[in-house]
Amino acid sequence: MLIGLTGGIGSGKTTVSDLFAELGIKIIDTDVISQNLTAASGSAISLILENFGPQSIALDGSMDRKFMRTKVFNSSNERKKLESILHPLIREEAKRQIQNLDGPYSILAVPLMNKDSSWIRICDRILLVDCPKEEQIRRVELRNGLGPT
């Protein structure tokens, strides 16, 4: 059985995922997959470089997250371009990992899974993590080293 784990930013998905992992449940986390794809020597790096130029790559060879955040938050076209690079690679790796599952159930962590998401069709059940908006804001500020908004 494949359980889809989802929720908004700062809702506690990672905490819930970590609790399941402590119980020996296999976790496939699309955020982790994305981080690996955009790390130095990750399989998305050459496509990011080709599409966004040398300024998109940090000195260590990974995707320059600060540069890309600014670029994609200011332009939906740029966001869609980055998504068109990353999403197929994330999906391919997640499917590869799903094929290798061997427990009674596993968790597929996808930050934004909605009723129209193709991810929802491959999950047997969906677990939505939620918390009050104030708690989400506090967690994101703490995680990202931001001050109150």
For residue range 21-57, what is the model confidence (pLDDT) as tens digits? 999 999 999 999 999 999 999 999 999 999 999 999 9
Q: Measured between alpha carbons, how far is 76 from 28 in angstroms, rounded to an integer? A: 28
Q: Enter the pTM of the model.
A: 0.86
pLDDT, position 112: 79
CA distance 83 to 112: 13
Tens digit of each residue's pLDDT (9 = 90 or more) over 8-28: 888 889 999 999 999 999 999
Confidence (pLDDT) at 147: 63
* 3-class secondary structure, 109: strand
148: pLDDT confidence band, cut at 50, 70 and 90? low
- Which residue ranges make up each domain of the chain? 1-25+105-149, 33-101
